[in-house]
Amino acid sequence: MADLRELYQDTILDHNKRPRNFREIADASATAVGHNPLCGDRVTVYLRLDDGTIEDISFVGQGCAISKASASLMTDAVKGKSKADAHRLFERFHKMVTARPGDPVDASLGKLAVLSGVCEFPVRVKCASLAWHTLEAALERKQETVSLE
C-alpha cells in the first residue's frame, strides 16, 4: 500500500521548502493564475517568451507541498523549451500522475519523476497538475483564472 515517503520524497520536500524560480517577472510576456478551491491553493505563473521559446519562467503563490514542489520542478523543467515541447512534457507528466500504481515511469521525465507517487493518491493529482494547467493557460494567453474543481 501507498507509503508516505513515496508521496513525500526528499526532493519534493526540498522544493517545497526552497522553491526554485519563486519570484515575479516584471516584464513577463504572459501570466496566468491557477486556483484549486479544494485546498485553497493559488499559483501565478509568469513567462517571458521569445519567438515561441520559454526564455524565463517563475511562479508565486501558496499551496500544499505537492503543488508547490510540482510548480518549482516544472519551472526548472520547461525553462529554455519551446511552447510545443512544454506542452508535450505536460502531457507525459499528466500521464505519469494519473497512471496505475506500478506502471513504469517515463524515463524522459527526468526529475519530474519524483512526483510519480502521486498516482497512488488520486485526490492529489489536482495539486500536482495545478501549475501545469496554469502554464498552459499562460501559453495560450488566457486571461481568466484556471480553476480546478
Partner 1 sequence: MAKPAKVMLNVPAIKADFPILQRTIRDKRLVYLDSAATSQKPKQVIDATSDFYSRYNANVHRAIYELGEESTREYEGAREKIAAFIQAKSPTEIAFTKSTTESLNLVAYGYGLKGKIQKGDEIVGTVMEHHSNHVPWHFVKDHKGAVLKYVDVKDDGTLRMEQYDDLLTDRTKIVTVSLCSNVLGTINPVKEIAKRAHEVGAICVVDAAQAAPHMPIDVQDLDADFLAFSGHKMLGPTGIGVLYGKQELFEATEPLLGGGEMIREVHLGSAKWNDVPYKFEGGTPNIAGAIGLGVAVDYLTKIGMEAVRGHEMEITEYALEKLARLKGVQTYGPKDVKKRAGVVSFTIDGAHPHDIASILDVEGICVRSGHHCAQPLMERFNLPATARASFYIYNDMDDADALVAGIKKVQEVFA
Are the C-beta atoms of residues 105 and 93 closer than 8 Å to each other?
no
Q: Please say which residue, 41 or 56, places its beta carbon nearer to partner 1.
A: 41
Query: By the criterion CB under 8 A, which residues form the site for partner 1?
Result: 1-4, 7-8, 13, 16-17, 37-42, 62-66, 68, 121, 123-124, 127
Q: Please say which residue, 127 or 146, places its beta carbon nearer to partner 1.
A: 127
Report the distance separating Cα 97 and Cα 67, nearest Å: 12
Rounded least distance, CB 60 to partner 1, Å:
14
Class of residue 62 by CB neighbours under 10 A (exposed 0-12, middle 13-18, buried 19+) = exposed
Are the C-beta atoms of residues 66 and 10 closer than 8 Å to each other?
no
Rounded least distance, CB 8 to partner 1, Å:
5
Residue with cell 474543481: 149
Q: Please say which residue, 66 or 146, places its beta carbon nearer to partner 1.
A: 66
Rounded least distance, CB 93 to partner 1, Å:
20
